[in-house]
């Protein structure tokens, strides 16, 4: 393989730049040229491509976001759009792709493989940590630490005003962020999509906390845990008990910022591993880290198999919230 392409797609995640850097420098070490594809699949269709050398990726390790930019493409969802993308890749002499992103990115990659026989290796870049085949995805650790810092600050205000704060974190279908920040932040309640949420039971729990002498509480809610998110859950709880509460939605602040050391190392390791896999003739897989070792998982399995939260941590959080 003489020339490969690298792109980022879907939601940005801290550490994507570290992965790009690793792809370029590992490829250089193997004598392979790298073309950066801007704006994900949308840029692929339009032929937005730039050569990337080792100096082009200097001083990006610590930067959040992605230097290649990212976008969502409706055109790529059609066979005609994918055919245009494949034609642009062929014209650029690209013989394989490193796709950095989440499940949507990988589903698109699977279509390119199936319809146009373009080799692709995926690198898991998403703060949601919801891809099967890796213990952690790039960006998750940074997102957790960003949300945790915010919760620590909000707790000061909650204690000062003797109030309950409902804090909504990202996670439409997965509660990994909510679970980790809730446990680390000492939340009294953690609501995740993986388990049923009972507003009446939460209301009773908050009352019991008050009876035990607690004057403030933190409720962490994954955005997809309850209809309407944190605000919807609070409204449902207030049907059972009058509670002085405020809602804070952390939103996209969780995606930005300089990646943690853990995310930089993970991204560097997986970016380099993706190039090695392509160079060895491997395609249709995601590189991940499982129990400290790099493992390859079929893309189909990575996006379709359910990755569960650590339910023992959820049980522990309830004990520690007493």
Q: What is the mean pLDDT of residues 88-116?
A: 98
Q: What pLDDT does residue 256 have?
A: 94
From the candidate CATH numbers 3.40.50.970, 3.40.50.720, 3.40.50.460, 3.40.50.1470, the one assigned to the domain spanning 141-256? 3.40.50.460
Buried b (16+ CB within 10 A) or exposed e, 18-37: bbbbbbbbbbbeeebbbbbb
- Check whether 210 has a pLDDT greater than 90: no
Q: Is 286 annotated as a binding residue?
A: no
Residues that are catalytic: 128
**Contact between residue 259 and residue 204 where contact means Cβ atoms under 8 Å apart:** no
Q: Is 254 annotated as a binding residue?
A: yes
Q: Is 128 annotated as a binding residue?
A: yes
Q: Is 269 annotated as a binding residue?
A: no
Using the Cα atoms of residue 188, residue 192, residue 124 and residue 82 in order, give the sign of their dihedral: negative
Give the DSSP letter of residue 270: H
Q: Give residue-wise pLDDT tens across range 218-247.
A: 999 999 999 999 999 999 999 988 888 999
Q: What is the mean pLDDT of residues 173-181?
A: 97
Q: Rounded to whole angstroms, how far apart are CA atoms 134 and 286?
A: 9
Neighbours of 122 (CB within 10 A): 32
Secondary structure of 1-16 as H, E, C letters: CCEEEEEECCCCCCCH
Domain boundaries in the chain? 3-139+259-304, 141-256
Q: Rounded to whole angstroms, how far apart are CA atoms 303 and 286?
A: 10
CATH for 3-139+259-304? Answer: 3.40.50.450
Could you tell me the pLDDT band of residue 152, with boundaries at 50, 70 and 90?
very high
82 exposed, middle or buried (CB, 10 Å; 0-12, 13-18, 19+)? buried
Q: Is 216 annotated as a binding residue?
A: yes
Could you tell me the pLDDT band of residue 213, with boundaries at 50, 70 and 90?
confident
Which among 292, 309, 12 has a CA at the least distance from the CA of 177? 309
**In the predicted model, what is the mean pLDDT of the chain?**
96
The answer to which of 112-121, 182-191, 233-242 has the lowest mean pLDDT is: 233-242
Using the Cα atoms of residue 277, residue 282, residue 285 and residue 290 in order, give the sign of their dihedral: negative
Could you tell me the pLDDT band of residue 101, with boundaries at 50, 70 and 90?
very high
Q: Is 186 annotated as a binding residue?
A: yes
Please report which helix (H) or strand (E) contains residue 301, including its range. Answer: helix 299-304
Q: What is the mean pLDDT of residues 271-298?
A: 98
**Could you tell me the maximum CA-CA distance found in the chain, to the nearest angstrom?**
70
Distance separating the N- and C-terminal Cα atoms of the chain: 58
Token look-up 């993986």 returns: 194
Q: What pLDDT does residue 215 have?
A: 86
Q: What is the mean pLDDT of residues 145-173?
A: 95
Q: Is 275 annotated as a binding residue?
A: no
DSSP 181-235: HHHHTT-SEEE-TTS---HHHHHHHHHHHHHTT---EEEEEETTSSTTHHHHHHH
Q: What pLDDT does residue 242 have?
A: 84
Q: What pLDDT does residue 291 have?
A: 96
Q: What pLDDT does residue 209 have?
A: 87
**Contact between residue 275 and residue 123 where contact means Cβ atoms under 8 Å apart:** no
What is the percentage of the chain residues whose pLDDT exceeds 90? 93
Tell me whether the CATH fold assigned to 3-139+259-304 matches the one assigned to 141-256: yes
Q: Is 105 annotated as a binding residue?
A: yes
Q: What pLDDT does residue 178 have?
A: 98
- Check whether 115 has a pLDDT greater than 90: yes
Q: Give residue-wise pLDDT tens across range 6-48.
A: 999 999 999 999 999 999 999 999 999 999 999 999 999 999 9
3-state secondary structure (DSSP) of residue 135: coil
Q: Rounded to whole angstroms, how far apart are CA atoms 226 and 147?
A: 19
Q: Which two tokens stand for residue 303?
A: 């996006």
Q: What pLDDT does residue 321 have?
A: 86
∠ CA 270-271-273, rounded to 5°: 60
- Check whether 298 has a pLDDT greater than 90: yes
Which among 120, 175, 172 has a CA at the least distance from the CA of 144? 175
Q: Which two tokens stand for residue 4?
A: 């490969």
Q: Which two tokens stand for residue 125?
A: 């870049």
Q: Is 22 annotated as a binding residue?
A: yes
Residue scoring higher pLDDT (272 or 163): 272
Q: Is 73 annotated as a binding residue?
A: yes
């Amino acid at each position: 393989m003489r020339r490969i392409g690298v792109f980022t797609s879907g939601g940005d995640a801290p550490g994507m730049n570290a992965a790009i850097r690793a792809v370029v420098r590992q490829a250089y070490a193997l004598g392979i040229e790298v073309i950066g594809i801007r704006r994900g699949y949308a840029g692929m269709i339009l032929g937005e491509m730039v050569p990337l050398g080792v100096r082009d990726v200097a001083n990006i390790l610590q930067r959040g976001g992605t230097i290649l930019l990212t976008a969502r493409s409706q055109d790529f969802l059609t066979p005609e759009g994918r055919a245009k993308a494949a034609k642009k890749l062929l014209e650029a002499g690209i013989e394989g792709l490193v796709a950095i992103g989440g499940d949507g990115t990988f589903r698109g990659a699977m279509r390119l493989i199936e319809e146009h026989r373009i080799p692709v290796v995926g690198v898991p870049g998403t703060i949601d940590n919801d891809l099967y085949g890796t213990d952690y995805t790039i960006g998750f650790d940074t997102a957790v630490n960003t949300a945790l810092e915010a919760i620590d600050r909000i707790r000061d205000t909650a204690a000062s005003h003797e109030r309950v704060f409902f804090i909504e974190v990202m996670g439409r279908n997965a509660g990994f962020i909510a679970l980790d920040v809730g446990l680390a932040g000492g939340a009294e309640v953690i609501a995740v999509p993986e388990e049923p949420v009972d507003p009446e039971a939460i209301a009773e729990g908050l009352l019991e906390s008050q009876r035990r002498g607690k004057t403030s509480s933190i409720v962490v809610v994954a955005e997809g845990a309850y209809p309407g998110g944190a605000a919807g859950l609070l409204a449902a709880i207030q049907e059972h008990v009058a509670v002085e509460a405020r809602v804070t939605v952390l939103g996209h602040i969780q995606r930005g910022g300089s990646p943690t050391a853990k995310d930089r190392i993970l991204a560097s390791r997986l970016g380099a591993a993706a190039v090695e896999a392509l160079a060895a003739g491997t395609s249709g897989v995601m590189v991940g880290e499982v129990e400290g070792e790099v493992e390859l998982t079929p893309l189909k399995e990575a996006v379709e198999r359910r990755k569960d939260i650590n339910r023992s941590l959820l049980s522990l959080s309830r004990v520690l919230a007493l």
